[in-house]
């Protein structure tokens, strides 16, 4: 049973098993919920506006002519390592007026069913570790060309609630967080319909800025995966608008401070101790951690405003992350309905290692309705 609990904790609350390193909790908040951005090298902070607010909440109010919509997605996560592990996401939005939109998003992450056994191998009980988050987004246009957005989120995490590990009983943890974003387009929202010229877009966002998470009474605090994203995109279109190509590039940074290094007595001699360092201090210290940068690039081809082909690449330091991925995907939009698929494959893999995020499919479907 100890092995099973250890596997759960490594993915859900790694700070309990990694000792002094300030590893982030709530790792499911880093999983991209949509197939479109996933196919474009895990980018989305500066691509054209869509229903999902994961990359940039400011984009929600920049959708041309759309009154309301809903999208759903499913991500089978680490399927090569464990069965039943995955995340479901639901996103809806409603335009309140010409400048303002609000959105609601829900993410549910399941680690599958874990069957605990006694020393003789008989089943004792089954446990379903899970985490979920619900967020409310407010996005407002500053002008025809730019917008800001903010998301407030509540998170509930019960990866091993009630189970004892290393003499400590693990409990359900709760947290709150916020995302903020800015988005710019060189073509105004009201000008996009029928426009066939070039479009430059840019975006910035900060996500998962929130309280520390704690799974037991005696220490074990960890930061949420605070993340910076900044990117640009450019769209080319044929004169008739039949063909459209978008290229995008994005930088990401996980804002975790350098890990604590302790002497033989357990005293911190360098780095950051999550127990004694508050979130604002950790946020600013995180910029000095040079290993936590990442980069993504993507290419999207759109035919007759209906059919999409996408490809991309995403790379982060192998010493810090397993996201060394080649990505690809397809999509279609038929009236109000849209469906997207994406696929990951591993690149630049270390010798004698396996990338458990590779060979993963994602699917999202959505409905968006235009104003009358």
Q: How confident is the model at residue 37 (pLDDT cuts 50, 70, 90)?
A: very high
Three-class secondary structure of residue 38 per DSSP: helix
pLDDT of residue 303: 94
Closest CA to 315 of 330, 331, 298: 298
Least confident of 68-82, 106-120, 156-170, 358-372: 156-170
Q: Confidence class of residue 308 from pLDDT cuts 50, 70 and 90?
A: very high
Q: Indicate the fold that domain 1-370 takes in CATH.
A: Porin (2.40.160)
Residues 81-112: pLDDT tens digits? 666 788 999 999 999 999 999 999 999 998 87
Q: pTM value?
A: 0.86
> Distance (Å, rounded) from C-alpha 323 to C-alpha 312?
13
**Residue 236 CA: distances (Å) to CA of 48, 64, 71:** 13, 18, 27
167 band by pLDDT with thresholds 50, 70 and 90 = low
Per-range mean pLDDT, top range of 66-80, 109-123, 166-180, 284-298: 284-298
At 12, the pLDDT band (50, 70, 90 cuts) reads: low
**Average pLDDT for residues 260-269, to the nearest whole number?**
72
Cα dist from 131 to 87, 180, 311, whole Å: 9, 22, 30
pLDDT tier, 219 (very low <50, low <70, confident <90, very high otherwise): low
* Lookup: tokens for 191: 């000008």
Rounded CA-CA distance 276/70 in Å is: 42
Q: How many CA atoms lie within 13 A of 250 on its CB side?
A: 35
Per-residue pLDDT at 20: 43
What three-state secondary structure class fits 28?
Answer: helix
| Arithmetic mean of pLDDT, 312-328 | 88
For the chain, which residues make up each domain, given as ranges? 1-370
Higher per-residue confidence, 122 vs 193? 193
Does residue 10 surpass a pLDDT of 70?
A: no
Distance CA 200, CA 191 (A): 14
CB atoms closer than 10 angstroms to residue 159: 27
Contact between 233 and 185 (Cβ < 8 Å): no
- Is 261 in a helix, a strand, or coil? strand
Residue of 204, 267, 253 lying closest to 230 (CA atoms): 204
Q: What is the pLDDT of residue 82?
A: 62
What's the mean pLDDT when you consider all of the chain? Answer: 84
pLDDT for 252: 96
- Per DSSP, which regions of the chain are E strands? 66-76, 85-95, 100-111, 114-117, 123-127, 130-141, 146-158, 164-165, 168-169, 173-185, 199-210, 227-237, 243-254, 261-262, 268-270, 293-303, 307-316, 324-334, 337-346, 361-370
311 — phi, psi (to 5°)?
Answer: -155, 155
The answer to whether the CB of 111 falls within 8 A of the CB of 129 is yes
Kindly state the percentage of the chain with pLDDT values over 90. Answer: 49
- Per-residue model confidence (pLDDT) at position 161: 62
């Amino acid at each position: 049973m100890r092995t099973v609990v250890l596997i759960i904790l490594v993915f859900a609350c790694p700070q309990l098993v990694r000792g002094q390193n300030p590893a982030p909790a709530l790792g499911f908040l880093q999983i991209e919920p949509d197939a479109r951005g996933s196919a474009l090298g895990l980018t989305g902070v500066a691509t054209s506006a869509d229903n999902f607010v994961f990359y940039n909440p400011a984009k929600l109010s920049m959708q041309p002519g759309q009154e309301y919509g809903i999208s759903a997605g499913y991500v089978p996560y680490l399927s090569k390592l464990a069965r039943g592990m995955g995340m479901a996401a639901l996103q809806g939005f409603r335009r309140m007026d010409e400048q303002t939109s609000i959105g609601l998003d829900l993410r549910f992450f399941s680690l599958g069913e874990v069957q605990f056994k006694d020393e003789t191998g008989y089943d004792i009980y089954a446990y379903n570790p899970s985490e979920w988050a619900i967020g409310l987004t407010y996005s407002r246009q500053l002008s025809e060309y730019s917008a800001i957005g903010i998301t407030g989120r509540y998170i509930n995490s019960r990866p091993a609630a009630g189970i004892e590990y290393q003499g400590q009983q693990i409990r359900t943890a709760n947290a709150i967080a916020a995302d903020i974003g800015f988005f710019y387009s060189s073509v105004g929202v009201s000008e996009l319909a029928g426009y066939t010229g070039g479009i430059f877009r840019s975006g910035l966002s900060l996500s998962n800025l929130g309280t520390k998470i704690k799974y037991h009474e005696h220490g074990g605090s960890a930061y949420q995966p605070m993340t910076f994203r900044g990117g640009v995109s450019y769209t080319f279109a044929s004169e008739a608008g039949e063909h459209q190509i978008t290229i995008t590039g994005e930088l990401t940074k996980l804002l975790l401070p350098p890990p604590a290094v302790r002497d033989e007595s357990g005293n911190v001699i360098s780095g950051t101790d999550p127990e004694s360092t508050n979130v604002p201090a950790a946020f600013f210290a995180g910029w000095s951690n040079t290993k936590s940068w990442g980069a993504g690039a993507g290419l999207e081809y759109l035919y007759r405003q209906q059919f999409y082909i996408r490809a991309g690449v995403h790379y982060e330091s192998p010493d810090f992350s397993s996201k060394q991925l080649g990505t690809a995907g397809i999509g279609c939009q038929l009236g109000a309905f849209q469906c997207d698929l994406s696929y990951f494959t591993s690149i630049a893999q270390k010798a004698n290692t396996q990338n458990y995020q590779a060979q993963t499919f994602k699917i999202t479907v959505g409905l968006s309705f235009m104003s009358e």
